[in-house]
Structure 1
């Protein structure tokens, strides 16, 4: 799938077929697990687009619909949406569950944004 988000071209959409390949990136990768039916997910979407657009040299955001990618969601133990999984190399280093304002996410992710 691996298509850029049409709103910003900064967020990459992935699914079960290409998610693992998308993790191979020198930047910090944030996997944004969401679902169509989830209001907090819809609120977090524009925040993730902003973060990806503001930090293209250090951050890659992958958006993955949990309902349409059950294998990937299960493999990464996604039990609630929205969930952000932070990867450095291909290793998960942090999990953030729930929608947060941009300032709160920037604070929690500061060490990865400044890499």
Structure 2
């Protein structure tokens, strides 16, 4: 079972924007090959750091409002939210080392 929870257009505000700790949002789609490469890396990070950071994924096939509101133009996109604001954003599959470096100030 994945340590990365699903979030939807309906639950995004509550789970991400109102979170008391940093949230990593993975915008993905089942047809996206780089998304499939990134998923196990995020699962691993979530398993290691879920006590400090919340990790969620949003399926852009069925949830179209939030990606539009957040300016997501390509997949996969990873956004880091702190206090309801995007503080970091990446598009494209990234290695674990790059993601860890981006998250180190929150760990």
Q: Please tell me the TM-score bracket, short chain as reference.
A: over 0.9
Cα separation, 2, equivalents of 1:68 and 1:77: 16
Please, which runs of 5 or more residues in structure 2 have no aligned partner?
none
Aligned to 1:101: 95
1:92 aligned residue: 86
Partner secondary structure for residue 78 of structure 1: coil
Show the counterpart of 2:46: 52
State the 1:36 CA deviation. Answer: 0.5
CA distance in 2, matches of 1:27, 1:52: 13
- 1:21 Cα deviation (Å)? 0.9
The correspondence of residues 1-115 of structure 1 with structure 2, limited to 5 A, is 7-8=1-2, 10-23=3-16, 24-112=18-106, 114=107
Aligned length: 106
CA RMSD of aligned residues (A): 1.0
Return the TM-score normalized by structure 2: 0.93
- Runs (4+) of structure 1 moved beyond 4 Å? none
| Counterpart contact for 1:27–1:57, Cα < 8 Å | no
Q: Work out the CA distance in 2 between the residues paired with 1:86 and 1:31.
A: 6
What is the rounded CA distance, in whole Å, between the counterparts of 1:56 and 1:38 in structure 2? Answer: 25
Tell me the SS of whatever aligns to 2:86: strand
